[in-house]
Chain A
Amino acid sequence: NAGVTQTPKFRILKIGQSMTLQCTQDMNHNYMYWYRQDPGMGLKLIYYSVGAGITDKGEVPNGYNVSRSTTEDFPLRLELAAPSQTSVYFCASSSGGNTEAFFGQGTRLTVV
């Protein structure tokens, strides 16, 4: 049972480049989330989705875009990478309500 899978694990981008962080889950969860975690800080919500075709902004959405064409996949797109986007990115999924949220292993992104 794979759970939540994120790729890549590590990436170095140059300023202005773009990339897509991939996230897929095999638990048939409706809710999916993207968080970023800066050193010594709590996770901040970037975007979330409550089901296929539905996405919404979280606390820190600027500079990012998402799509949810299927229940399983929730990719996060960075269009013009900036040094401020250097962080560890976590994808998560849940059934909602009081159920457990499952996290991926994270993607460590460095923008230079």
Chain B
Amino acid sequence: KNQVEQSPQSLIILEGKNCTLQCNYTVSPFSNLRWYKQDTGRGPVSLTIMTFSENTKSNGRYTATLDADTKQSSLHITASQLSDSASYICVVSVPNAGNMLTFGGGTRLMVKP
């Protein structure tokens, strides 16, 4: 069973709308939880990094939340743009194994005009 599960697998929204992506993880303990954006054919790019003591972190129109008790995180995208079309990946970092990153399968977001 994957230690980082994301939902939905894919999502289509209209430009200008908001959306929320979900991440549930079982990795424990963990150093931090990250959200990455991956454009097609490119490497992942970091959006946010949260330690277990942080509840929320924003990066422009992206806001990530973390509930370490329920082991859930979400990524909220406000006023979506066509350039937001990408895969969004939830990643948990473990404190051993060289801060190994455990990746979720991602949510593929398509923003339509």
In the complex, are the beta carbons of A33 and B98 less than 8 A apart?
yes
In the complex, are the beta carbons of A98 and B32 less than 8 A apart?
yes
Q: Which of B41, B49, B98, B104 contacts A42 (CB 8 A)?
A: B104
CB distance from A8 to the nearest CB of B (A): 14
Query: Which bucket holds chain A's interface residue count?
Result: 20 to 34
CB distance from B104 to the nearest CB of A (A): 5
Looking across the interface, which residue of chain A has its beta carbon closest to that of B103? A42
Query: Interface digits, B29-53 against A, CB 8 Å rule (1 contact, 0 not)?
Result: 0011010000001111110010100
Query: Interface digits, B44-69 against A, CB 8 Å rule (1 contact, 0 not)?
Result: 11100101000000000000000000
Number of B interface residues at 8 Å Cβ cutoff, please give it: 25
Q: Which of B44, B46, B51, B99 contacts A96 (CB 8 A)?
A: B99
Q: Flag whether A2 is at the interface (Cβ < 8 A).
A: no
Give the contacts of A91-112 with B (CB-CB under 8 A).
Answer: 92, 94, 96-106
Q: Flag whether A12 is at the interface (Cβ < 8 A).
A: no
Q: Which of A44, A58, A106 contacts B41 (CB 8 A)?
A: A106
Q: Which of A4, A49, A101, A104 contacts B46 (CB 8 A)?
A: A101
User: B residues within 8 A CB of A90?
Assistant: 43-44
Cα distance A45–B96 in the bound complex, in angstroms? 14
User: A residues within 8 A CB of B42?
Assistant: 105-106
Q: Which residues of B contact A (CB under 8 A)?
A: 2, 4, 31-32, 34, 41-46, 49, 51, 89, 93, 97-106
Q: List 18 A-B contacts (CB under 8 A).
A: A31-B98, A33-B101, A35-B103, A42-B2, A42-B4, A42-B89, A42-B102, A42-B105, A43-B44, A44-B103, A48-B100, A58-B100, A92-B101, A96-B99, A97-B31, A98-B93, A100-B49, A106-B41
